[in-house]
Amino acid sequence: MDFLLGMNAALYFGAAITGDGPTLPSTLTLVGNVKDVTLNMEAGEADIVCLM
């Protein structure tokens, strides 16, 4: 399993997570054009994405 570490962000839209487990990435839709988005991150933090 490979992991991607970085500050590249993407906004996805999909169904809410239920008690059955997490929403599968294949069911999410990438939102390509958004305005007024704020992401607060500090040095030492990173998003971890699992590449399967």
What pLDDT shows up at residue 27? 74
What pLDDT shows up at residue 47? 63
What pLDDT shows up at residue 33? 84
- Domain for residue 12, yes or no? yes
- Domain for residue 40, yes or no? no
Output the pTM of the full model: 0.42
Number of domains in the chain: 1
User: Going by C-beta distance under 8 Å and a sequence separation of 6 or more, which residues neighbour residue 16?
Assistant: 23
- Domain for residue 6, yes or no? yes
What pLDDT shows up at residue 18? 61
| Structural domain for 5, as ranges | 1-18+25-34+45-52
Provide the CB-side half-sphere exposure for 26 (13 A, CA): 1
- Domain for residue 39, yes or no? no
For residue range 1-52, list pLDDT tens digits in order.
555 556 667 778 876 666 666 666 677 788 888 887 776 666 666 666 665 5
What pLDDT shows up at residue 28? 79
